[in-house]
Amino acid sequence: MSPQPEPFTLRVPEDAITDLRERLARTRFPDQTPGPPWTYGTDVGYMRGLVAYWRDGFDWRGQEARLNAFPQFKVPLHGIDLHFLHVPGNGPAPLPLLLLHGWPGSVFEFLELIPRLADPARFGGDPADTFTVVAPSLPGFGLSFAPGQPRFSVEAMADCLIGLMTDVLGYRRFGAQGGDWGSFVASRLGWAYPAHLVGIHLNLLPLRRDPAMVADPAPEEHRYLGELAIWLKEETGYQWIQGTRPQTLAFALTDSPAGLAAWIVEKFRAWSDCGGNVEAVFTRDQLLANIGLYWFTGAIGSSFWPYYARLHGPWPIPEGAAIGVPTGYAEFPREILRPPRSLAARTFIDIRRWSAMPRGGHFAAMEQPEALADEIRAFFRPLRGQG
């Protein structure tokens, strides 16, 4: 018998909020490294303002209410209590869609996107394009974490979530969409469980990152390999520490809310289409809702585990394997890496839609929810009725 989901409402204890404010009041800031702000990491001046707002101006209860406006559940699955949003589609034939976040994100990324998918007519769209949206907190992240529970690789996440969709919720055929680790999980599902996937839509391409992968690169491949070399040299320090010593880093970020915020907000600035001003794209409330979920759940250490698993195990898509389910890709201009279609086609052999987006970056669901929703609807439109 399949486990039964139980309704869930997020309510952080008041004493946890008080403890957070007291810790923020005692923050000990480092000095500012000489040179332009943000050159060597998170800017001290920016953090002073963010910490002060988090302590005295931020309304966590308001952010809780935003999340609690969506139907939420927990279900025992694969040794954890898996948290997920389950939002019925408002239309004649909703297509089930598994919506997958990554690191350092959470289900808070999707609060503007989900209504556009579940009720497109409300936003001027066609009700025939509606989805029933299932948006889990990835195993080991946020509300899908409890101390002492098993750790999850991408492969283990895919195995857990196929159980959620098919055994628990009864969706034998569904679509999947993801960015960051969510794109890895969606791709793994497309490879390991193709009979259940109508299609997968990605806003990051999870390709192997080897600058020597092409012997005689075409111009677009040459451009990408140059970007990749810079990325591997300058931007992957977080991957190495999270992937080699996740437990050590977890002490600092579980104990210091300012440290946690600095670790996460630097990525939202560096990876978004913000022109160097992170609050040009995200409000402080959006940033702190996501950071606060990591803080209150204590899940930051567990969220590092996919990096450890990737560095110490095989790539989630086996060497030489091809993903044959229909695939769509939205290429946002400030995504961390933008492989050309020629390289993507080696792994994804049925690319049905490839869209170069005018604006946006790594956190597309938060940065450009309307544009991403339009792309998801357009990709899945011809695939409906194939379940």
Active site residues: 180, 307, 362
**Which residue has 């998918």 as its token pair?**
117
């139980």: which residue's tokens? 6
The sheet carrying 351-356 orders its strands as 6-7, 72-77, 80-87, 131-136, 95-100, 174-178, 197-202, 327-331, 351-356
Q: Are strands 72-77 and 95-100 parallel, antiparallel or unpaired?
A: unpaired
Which residue matches tokens 């209150």? 296
What whole-number distance in Å separates Cα of residue 106 and Cα of residue 34? 33
Alpha helices by DSSP H, listed for 1-85, are 14-25, 44-56, 60-68
Residues written for the chain: 387
- Which three-class secondary structure state does DSSP give residue 82? strand
Tokens of 136: 């889990």
109, 97, 44: which is closest to 360 by C-alpha?
Answer: 109
Six-digit token pair at 223? Answer: 């451009």
| Ranges assigned E (strand) in the chain | 6-7, 72-77, 80-87, 95-100, 131-136, 174-178, 197-202, 327-331, 351-356
